[in-house]
Amino acid sequence: MARPLNRSILPLTAFVLIALALSTWFSSSIRTGINKTPLAPKPPPGPPPLPRHPLYKPERTDRPPPIVDNFPLAANAKSASDLPPTPSWNRPPKEHVKESTPLFIGFTRNWLLIQQTVVSYITAGWPPADIYVVENTGTMHANNKGQLSLQNPFYLNHTRLKDIYGVNVLQTPALFTFAQLQNFFIFTAGERNWTHYYWSHMDVLALPEETWKDPETGEFKNLYQRTLDDLRLTLTTEERWAMTFYAYDRFTLVNRTAYEEVGGWDSSIGYYGTDCDMYERLTMADMKQNDRPNGLIYDVGSSVDDLSVLYRRSPGNPDAEDDRAGPGYIHLRDTCDGMQVFKNSHEGGRNFWQATQSGGQGEPYYKDVDGFEFSVFLTIKHGENVMAEKWGHRGCALRGAGLKAEDAWRVEHDWDYWDRPEHDGLRRELEAAGWPKDRVQG
């Protein structure tokens, strides 16, 4: 008996429907694959987003303690007459000598040290009217207007310097580097027709040698008198001279025209190295540099407790003068010796005194103490790089490296010379003969 028609075609119908469905899906997949655009590679992850607030450095916890003025008597003085008189053996001539003796002392920071330096020169015999404190703080007229406080590193008391001590105060229009300040000295001397001038660091303490006697006359002479005698000899010489050092450059006599002849100080070398550059160029120009004694010029980074001791009054009777070269002087000299040793052996370096004040927040032209110090450090490093590029030599021995004045900016790096393959054989021979690499010049 035959099967019904509807049952025989059901499997076939199902097969056809499944085949059509598969065919439709496969065709659609092919079309999708053909028309689909390839995806671009995923970009690498970028830097994380910046914070929505500044990331502050940790606050300093080792702020120096507040300073106390090192001359209470001057702090309370109304006029110069309120101070003790200069020791009789150190008083300058009543009438100024015919020679000019201007003394520049640059100041940037640390009131205690600049006050000590000024008072020490006055009590050592230098005429106050010949002393010029050059304010180089970058604070415009803030000090002159009394807007900075004692704890501010850049504080300078104009009133006391001018009205009580009788010295002069000049101001730079902006914060100068050491080299720029030296050029300011030259410029100012030229403006005032000074053929020569003296300059001193602000971190020194000047004392006469009270035990010293002139070899010819046997007479005592103070620091100013000895300096004046040397000046008179220097001005009569026919030799080409540039300067005279007294205790190196702690105190220096400058021949202005000599400095001008070689182009002044290189202001692109702001701090360390600029003295080497200047003094080497002067020597290359056959300018003599003298080195002579005139007293005791101490390199210090701290102050005596009370500057009254520099006036040499009798310990038992402040109205009486102490004995010249007596126990009081010996004690003072020994104290200064100790201060100099303390500075040059300080664990914070010999310039530790530059960070002994940290106040002034909220005052005009305020500078963050640490930030200012670091900016000076970066300027120093830049100057050292300029010095090396200018002369193609690292270090100060320019003439020892065979350099002449006309070689500036014209020579290649001598420290690269022996690293070149073509010089390897000669370098080995010289080193074998005992010539250190850094001492051999190409």
* 335 phi/psi in degrees, rounded to 5: -60, -45
Q: Which residue has the tokens 């010095």?
A: 387
Residue 36 pLDDT: 56
Residue 22 pLDDT: 59
**What long-range pairs does 145-152 form, CB within 8 A, spacing at least 24?**
147/363, 147/364, 148/360, 148/363, 148/364, 149/359, 149/360, 149/363, 150/67, 150/69, 150/111, 150/359, 151/66, 151/67, 151/357, 151/358, 151/359, 151/360, 152/357, 152/359, 152/360, 152/363, 152/366
Residue 113 near residue 303, CB atoms below 8 Å: yes
Greatest Cα pair distance in the chain: 164
Residue 297 β-bridge partners: 206
The beta strand positions in 58-138, using DSSP E, are 103-107, 131-135
* 290 phi/psi in degrees, rounded to 5: -90, 160
Q: How confident is the model at residue 20 (pLDDT cuts 50, 70, 90)?
A: low
User: Which pTM was predicted?
Assistant: 0.85
Residue 425 pLDDT: 83
Residue 132 has a CB neighbour count (10 Å cut-off) of 20
Residue 421 pLDDT: 86
Residue 254 β-bridge partners: 197, 243
Taking the C-alpha atoms of residue 277 and residue 264, their distance in angstroms, rounded to an integer, is: 10
More confident residue, 228 or 41: 228
Residue 442 pLDDT: 39
- Evaluate if residue 236 carries a pLDDT over 80: yes
**172 CA to centre of own chain:** 16
Taking the C-alpha atoms of residue 346 and residue 351, their distance in angstroms, rounded to an integer, is: 9
**323 CA to centre of own chain:** 39
- Evaluate if residue 297 carries a pLDDT over 50: yes
Residue 428 pLDDT: 80
Residue 381 pLDDT: 97
* DSSP code at position 70: S
Q: Hey, what are 383's tokens?
A: 């100057």
Residue 52 β-bridge partners: none
Residue 433 pLDDT: 77
Taking the C-alpha atoms of residue 139 and residue 341, their distance in angstroms, rounded to an integer, is: 33
Average pLDDT over residues 433-440: 57
Taking the C-alpha atoms of residue 316 and residue 439, their distance in angstroms, rounded to an integer, is: 61
Domain with residues 72-387, CATH architecture: Alpha-Beta Complex (3.90)
- Evaluate if residue 34 carries a pLDDT over 60: no
The beta strand positions in 161-217, using DSSP E, are 168-171, 196-200, 204-207
Residue 222 near residue 236, CB atoms below 8 Å: no
Residue 332 pLDDT: 98
The CATH 3.90.550.10 portion of the chain extends over 72-387
Task: From residue 26, give the alpha-carbon distance in Å to each of 15, 17, 23, 38, 391.
Answer: 16, 14, 5, 20, 80
Percent of the chain scored above 90 by pLDDT? Answer: 74
Interval 298-325: pLDDT, tens: 999 999 999 999 999 998 888 899 999 9
> Could you give the dihedral angle defined by the CA atoms of residues 344, 349, 350 and 351, in that order, rounded to the nearest 10 degrees?
-170
Taking the C-alpha atoms of residue 26 and residue 274, their distance in angstroms, rounded to an integer, is: 84
More confident residue, 49 or 369: 369
**What long-range pairs does 330-337 form, CB within 8 A, spacing at least 24?**
332/207, 333/207, 333/296, 335/304, 336/205, 336/207, 336/296, 336/298, 336/300, 337/298
Arithmetic mean of pLDDT over the chain: 91
- Evaluate if residue 116 carries a pLDDT over 70: yes
Task: From residue 81, give the alpha-carbon distance in Å to each of 74, 84, 120, 165.
Answer: 10, 7, 18, 10
Taking the C-alpha atoms of residue 109 and residue 287, their distance in angstroms, rounded to an integer, is: 33
CA atoms within 13 A on the CB side of 80: 13
Average pLDDT over residues 417-423: 80
- Evaluate if residue 258 carries a pLDDT over 80: yes
